[in-house]
Amino acid sequence: MRKVCFLDLDGVLVDFVSGALALHGVTLPRSEVRWNFLTQIGFDGINDPRFWSPMGHDFWANLPWTAEGPLVLLAVERLYGADNVALMTSPCDTPGSVEGKLSWVCRELPAYRRRLFVGPAKHLAAGPGKVLVDDHDANVDKFCAAGGSALLVPRPWNRRRGETDSEGRFCVERFAADLEPLRY
Ligand SMILES: [Mg+2]
């Protein structure tokens, strides 16, 4: 069976954290960023509309790549074949989020503009032959529980934070070695 790999955007290819911190004019060392970092910078939890509401189309469309993003994409394409790779991203509720993400993909990865899946329930795409690469503990756990395979990208905001360096970065070669057995 040819396996399909779903690749997350925010926190994997796209540097949402840096963009969000810059938008709100705050600094936080990357190595100290946790999943619910909104509370670390003065917001009232993950659903605080004051954090999300300024994030319209242009915010999502203009986010930078993560440092490892290009190499992660290359590694995934080498292992699975580019035709078997798709992007899978969860939007926020703010108007413009979905369109902004599409704009980002159209500009940065035009070959993927018709292989972009947008929705928070990633586990509903799980099953035999399906692999998810994601930076959120819960997404990985749910995808595996639903019958797929998944690889958690090490980030300071997930349980693999011990594998990140002082700048919150991880070793892409090790990532590729972890991903390799999942394609069988
Ligand atoms: Mg993510």
**pLDDT tens, residue by residue, 108-161:** 999 999 999 999 999 999 999 999 999 999 999 999 999 999 999 999 999 999
Predicted local distance difference test score (pLDDT) of residue 2: 80
**Mean pLDDT computed over every residue of the chain:** 96
CA distance 120 to 137: 14
Cα–Cα distance, 172 to 19 (Å, whole number): 22
CA distances from 134 to 35, 55, 69, 142 (A): 13, 22, 12, 11
31 CA → ligand 1 middle, Å: 16
Percentage of residues in the chain with pLDDT exceeding 90?
Answer: 98
For the cut 90, the answer to whether the pLDDT of residue 184 exceeds it is no
Alpha-helix runs per DSSP H in 7-158: 16-23, 49-52, 57-61, 69-80, 97-108, 137-145
Question: pLDDT above 70 covers what percent of the chain?
Answer: 100
Q: How far is the CA of 96 from the centre of ligand 1 (A)?
A: 18
Expressed in angstroms and rounded, the spacing between residue 16 Cα and the centre of ligand 1 is 8
Instruction: Give the Å distance between the CA of 26 and the centre of ligand 1.
Output: 21
CA of 114 to the centre of ligand 1 (A): 20
CA 152 / ligand 1 centre spacing (Å): 10
Helix axes 69-80, 172-179, angle to 10 degrees: 30
CA of 64 to the centre of ligand 1 (A): 14
- What is the Å distance from ligand 1's center to 140 Cα? 10
Strand-strand pairing, 85-89 and 130-134: unpaired
Q: Report how far residue 74's alpha carbon sits from residue 53's, in angstroms, rounded to the nearest whole number.
A: 33
Ligand 1 centroid distance, CA of 143 (Å): 13
Residue 90 CA, ligand 1 centroid: distance in Å: 8
Tell me how far the alpha carbon of residue 159 lies from the centroid of ligand 1, in angstroms.
14
Q: What is the pTM of this model?
A: 0.96
Q: What is the pLDDT of residues 166-183, one digit of tens each?
A: 999 999 999 999 999 998
Alpha-carbon distance 157 to 172, whole Å? 17
